[in-house]
A and B are shown apart, each in its own frame.
Chain A
Amino acid sequence: MVLLDVEKGKRVRVLSLNGGTGLEDKLTQHGLYPGDCVRVLRTAPLGGPLLVDVHGREIALGRGIAEKIKVEESKCE
């Protein structure tokens, strides 16, 4: 499953970032690492970005990016 498919409000665990090192660097710089728990807070309409809670910070991620983030539904504390 990728982040793009996650229902609003659900917490999921990030498995891997599959967009090349450039994207991985950018995401880890915003505090998003594999193994972290994130939550989709909102989505913008018409193919707009997702608003994701990453350790209490809210990060807007374009759909193209959310598509490259593999996640799983598992217990996130």
Chain B
Amino acid sequence: MRVALIGQPNCGKSTLFNQVAGYKAETGNFTGTTVTFTESSVRVGGETIEVVDLPGTYTLAGTNPAEREASRYLLSEDVDLIINILDASHIAQGLELTLELLAMKVPVIVAMNMMDEASRMGLKIDGPALQEKLGVPVLPIVASRGRGVKGLFLKALSLSKVKVLNTSNYLLMTEDDRMARHKVAGGLEREFVTRGERRINLRDRIDDLLLHPFWGYVGLVLILYTFFQVVYGVGVLVETPLMDYLDKITQELILCLGEGKFLTEITVGALQGVVAGIGIVLPYLVPFLLGLGLLEDMGYMSRVAFLMDALMHRIGLHGKAIVPFILGYGCNVPAVMSTRTLDDPKERFVAAALATLVPCAAILSVVFGLVAFYLGPFMALVLYLFNIFVIALVGRVLTLMIPEDTPGLILEIPPYRIPTLRTVTQKAWFRIKEFLVEAWPLLIGGSAILALANFFNAADFFNSLARPFTWTLGLPPATGVPLIFGIFRKELSLVMLGQALGSMSFDTVLTSVQMITFTVFVMFYVPCLATLSALRRELGTKDMFVITGLTVVIAMVTALLSRGLAIMFF
């Protein structure tokens, strides 16, 4: 037997699905988190049933790909029963979809989700009377806390056995009359929902502050600053001892296998890839994704989108696209992943392309180790501001070249919700798993290749390969290797640069102009391997190559420009 979960966006379908199926679908207090369907076998009352989580849809005649997916599935697959999830705090809207579903020849159960939230809002819903009127079972649940979930599925099981079809009064509603459904649904809400006093009006008070034209932005800066501080605080705390330990293992391995041997080199190379993966996952991905999940589930990310919409419009994007930028400063991988919350494919492309230009923590180490250390922190700040300027400019140009057809932001700002530990951690794990499966093997392979190249003394070959670039930029030929292999792991760029030039005192081997040119080039050129793999996953292979080509052009132009400027000033 197959049960389909269907409901409007952000009504908690995936939360319900995850309650019964274990964490398999991505959730968020954000519309459109689920874009394809997820299926899982669940044991209920001694029997196994298939449960399908469909993307949220406002209507069966939906227009975006995720919505079409939902109706296509319902119409083509043999679904034995539909569980229609309704947000109890806004039933009129949900009922519009219910009315559409009733016309199908499949039994329907209505699950009133978020009953706790509805009662906080002072809503009293006459479930039994509504059940009578609709002619299908109406059950109250709180999916996030698992309340009423078991009863719901037991009901589904028993109903599917009886094979009773819906005995609704609304079966004959004309199929495509949206306006009529809207009116009937509104009438049903007026009839069966009584609005009491809102018990607490916390949301408005919090929003008075957090969406305030002035204090809202102060709050935004404070919240994001705290977020970054906590994330990096935790990251550094974990990373330093962990990396020391892993380095020790590597050293012992070298002793064990014998230095300079082929097998040793390649094993150590691969091991360093493993280490680099851990170095990205633990300090950046884990705390970042946990923090992001927390902010998302609380409902704050939609508010950030609201606040930043005006600014993002200047670079041709919507407020929602702010998330990849914030994440990008930590690591471009989660930044690219987060572009999937954007509706429009063009917007996803532009946001992902721009996110790869944001200097991540690894590039920070180059900016600080080279520019800030030798030329002063002010110069580093100038580079960061220059970076923001370039991103804005590229955004403008890209959106001019790819004309937008969406006129502006339409985004529901959800109520604040207290996230549960389970959904936040499971969501983070869901995203981290993607990195582990997709990008980590590439990192390990890349590191092994790097070791191989070192072993066979292929440096000259790679340097001559990169010579057209390094010559144009006025950089020493030896910078070719750190630039090419920096693609594998950007955090190693500086170390490799030192090795290639034969000195870690960079002021003795590079001029100030060269330092700036090198850093600007590293800031913009080809995203790292892990980011490339994320780009391929989110946008496809073609767009990955397009973005890569674009970054090379941008890097050349900006590096040449800054070379010219630097020559003038130094």
Measuring CB to CB, which residues of chain A are less than 8 angstroms from any residue of chain B?
19, 22-23, 25-31, 33, 42-49, 51, 55-65, 68
CB distance from B238 to the nearest CB of A (A): 37
Main SS of the interface on chain A?
mixed
Contact between chains at A65 and B409 (CB < 8 Å): yes
Q: Please report the C-alpha to C-alpha distance between residue A48 and residue B411 in the assembled complex, in whole angstroms.
A: 13
Q: Mark B203-222 against chain A: 1 for CB-CB distance below 8 A, else 0.
A: 00001000101101000000
Residue of B179, B214, B410 with most partner-chain A CB within 10 A: B410
Chain B hits for A45, CB < 8 A:
213-214, 310
| Chain A residue, CB-CB nearest to B217 | A45
CB distance from B346 to the nearest CB of A (A): 14
Contact between chains at A44 and B412 (CB < 8 Å): no
B151 contacts chain A at the CB level, 8 A cutoff: no
Contact between chains at B92 and A61 (CB < 8 Å): no
CB distance from A66 to the nearest CB of B (A): 8
CB distance from B124 to the nearest CB of A (A): 15
Chain B hits for A57, CB < 8 A:
90, 93, 412
Q: How many A-B residue pairs have CB under 8 A?
A: 101
CB distance from A23 to the nearest CB of B (A): 6
Chain A hits for B410, CB < 8 A:
26-27, 30, 59-62, 65
Top-5 shortest CB links A-B:
A62-B408, A48-B310, A29-B58, A64-B408, A62-B409
Chain B hits for A61, CB < 8 A:
408-410
Chain B hits for A62, CB < 8 A:
309, 313, 318, 407-410
Q: Please report the C-alpha to C-alpha distance between residue A61 and residue B413 in the assembled complex, in whole angstroms.
A: 10
Report, as a range, how many residues of chain B touch the other chain. 35 or more
Contact between chains at B179 and A33 (CB < 8 Å): yes
- New A-B pairs, 18, CB < 8 Å, besides A49-B319, A59-B413: A26-B63, A31-B58, A31-B92, A44-B307, A44-B309, A47-B310, A47-B313, A48-B306, A55-B93, A56-B90, A58-B413, A60-B410, A60-B411, A60-B412, A61-B408, A61-B409, A64-B408, A65-B409
Q: Please report the C-alpha to C-alpha distance between residue A43 and residue B211 in the assembled complex, in whole angstroms.
A: 9
Q: Please report the C-alpha to C-alpha distance between residue A66 and residue B5 in the assembled complex, in whole angstroms.
A: 33
Chain A hits for B89, CB < 8 A:
56
Task: Report 5 cross-chain contacts, Cβ distance below 8 Å, ordered by A residue.
Answer: A28-B178, A30-B410, A31-B58, A33-B182, A49-B310
Q: Please report the C-alpha to C-alpha distance between residue A59 and residue B92 in the assembled complex, in whole angstroms.
A: 16
Chain A hits for B186, CB < 8 A:
55
Residue of A31, A45, A51, A68 with most partner-chain B CB within 10 A: A31
Q: Please report the C-alpha to C-alpha distance between residue A30 and residue B409 in the assembled complex, in whole angstroms.
A: 12
Main SS of the interface on chain B?
helix
CB distance from A44 to the nearest CB of B (A): 6
Those of B198-255 within 8 Å (CB) of chain A = 207, 211, 213-214, 216
Contact between chains at B409 and A60 (CB < 8 Å): yes
| Chain A residue, CB-CB nearest to B412 | A59
Residue of B62, B93, B407 with most partner-chain A CB within 10 A: B407
Contact between chains at A49 and B311 (CB < 8 Å): no
| Chain B residue, CB-CB nearest to A45 | B213
CB distance from B410 to the nearest CB of A (A): 5
| Chain A residue, CB-CB nearest to B62 | A29
CB distance from B408 to the nearest CB of A (A): 2
| Chain A residue, CB-CB nearest to B214 | A45
Chain A hits for B62, CB < 8 A:
29
CB distance from A47 to the nearest CB of B (A): 5
Q: Please report the C-alpha to C-alpha distance between residue A55 and residue B95 in the assembled complex, in whole angstroms.
A: 13
Contact between chains at A42 and B211 (CB < 8 Å): yes
Q: Please report the C-alpha to C-alpha distance between residue A26 and residue B563 in the assembled complex, in whole angstroms.
A: 48
Q: Please report the C-alpha to C-alpha distance between residue A4 and residue B310 in the assembled complex, in whole angstroms.
A: 15
Q: Please report the C-alpha to C-alpha distance between residue A45 and residue B309 in the assembled complex, in whole angstroms.
A: 10
Q: Mark B437-474 against chain A: 1 for CB-CB distance below 8 A, else 0.
A: 00000000000000000000000000000000000000
B70 contacts chain A at the CB level, 8 A cutoff: no
CB distance from A46 to the nearest CB of B (A): 4
Contact between chains at A46 and B306 (CB < 8 Å): no
Contact between chains at A49 and B409 (CB < 8 Å): yes
CB distance from B63 to the nearest CB of A (A): 5
CB distance from B182 to the nearest CB of A (A): 5
CB distance from B230 to the nearest CB of A (A): 27
Q: Please report the C-alpha to C-alpha distance between residue A55 and residue B121 in the assembled complex, in whole angstroms.
A: 13
CB distance from B314 to the nearest CB of A (A): 9
B533 contacts chain A at the CB level, 8 A cutoff: no
Q: Please report the C-alpha to C-alpha distance between residue A31 and residue B58 in the assembled complex, in whole angstroms.
A: 9
Contact between chains at A44 and B93 (CB < 8 Å): no
B305 contacts chain A at the CB level, 8 A cutoff: yes
Q: Mark B6-25 against chain A: 1 for CB-CB distance below 8 A, else 0.
A: 00000000000000000000
Those of B307-346 within 8 Å (CB) of chain A = 307, 309-311, 313, 318-319
CB distance from A34 to the nearest CB of B (A): 8
Chain A hits for B409, CB < 8 A:
49, 60-62, 65
| Chain B residue, CB-CB nearest to A56 | B90
Contact between chains at A49 and B309 (CB < 8 Å): yes
CB distance from A40 to the nearest CB of B (A): 13
Contact between chains at B58 and A30 (CB < 8 Å): yes
Q: Please report the C-alpha to C-alpha distance between residue A23 and residue B409 in the assembled complex, in whole angstroms.
A: 11
Chain B hits for A29, CB < 8 A:
58-59, 62-63
Chain A hits for B309, CB < 8 A:
44, 48-49, 60, 62
| Chain A residue, CB-CB nearest to B58 | A29
Chain B hits for A26, CB < 8 A:
63, 410
CB distance from B121 to the nearest CB of A (A): 8
CB distance from A68 to the nearest CB of B (A): 7
Are A22 and B63 CB-contacts (below 8 A) given A45-B213, A57-B93? yes
CB distance from A13 to the nearest CB of B (A): 14
